[in-house]
A and B are shown apart, each in its own frame.
Chain A
Amino acid sequence: MSEQEKKESVLDKRSSRRTFIKNSGLTVGGVVLGGALGSLLIKDDKSTTHNTDTQNHAKTPIANPNIALMFFTPNQYQITQAAVERIFPEDANGPGAKELNAAVYIDHQLAGPWGSNVKDYRLGAFYKAEENQGPQTKLLRKDLFLAGLDSLNKYSNDQYKADFKELEATQQDEVLLAFSEDKVELYGKVSSSQFFSLLRTLTIEGVYADPMYGGNNEMVGWSMRKYPGSRMQYVAEIQDEKFIELEPQSLNSHMGH
């Protein structure tokens, strides 16, 4: 498949999913949520008959079960989607972080051990750090992220009288810039740039980590930069004078060997 064809086929899949979403009317920020959908169907189910449910299911295209929320509320998820899209926006190269499911990735990461800093040193007192001593904050990543989302909204309302996700892209950029430059009070003594840096890191990870983590949808993050993902060897390619473009492969291709 050529690069162009591949992008088109991804778009096709996306638009058919969109159609389904529009019809079902059950979306959180443009992506179907298996959990929300399921629970509503069950509710329907009680008031109607069993058959409706089965029929409904039969008509449902197979959604990616990885796309569901473990941590965020739907609103938090939507703010995150808006924010990651500004960090890594859609452009002529292809989709932005939103379409690549970076917000799903972030939800899953914050729900897991990393979100609770389990491998970080957390003993002793937390003092203010000098420039080169690295962050010294007691706040867990997951709590820092939520505090950041709250502040994004609060600051957006102060400046523009609207929630962050409702703002124009250029206004969102202004807000994020202020956060990155530490101009916003966040939570206690925690600086807004700390949240911004977490958001940026997580966005890049969500765009480029293996798709098994929930982001990098259809490996398009990789194909945009002609990155082949995880292949077993490049003996020939690295000796070649010319650039060789390879289709990306995920870790899934290493299963069953």
Chain B
Amino acid sequence: MDVLYFAWVRERIGLPRETVQTSAPTVADLVVELRAREARYDMAFSDLSALRVAVDQELAEWDAPLAGVREVAFFPPMTGG
């Protein structure tokens, strides 16, 4: 699936998007896999309360299932307007 990063999450990880091979059943499990990769991922995901997630472009919860999902995005709380 495609994993996208925005704002300071993108800056910390150093990528706007990447394709990830995973069988993680939920977003939370995917986060555990990503954090185990490298320090920059671990740091970006160190405080989940400062992050939001969208699954196939809809805001979702951390326990959202990933079966059949094409795109997951991680970002800080939005500041539009």
Decide whether A and B are members of one complex.
no
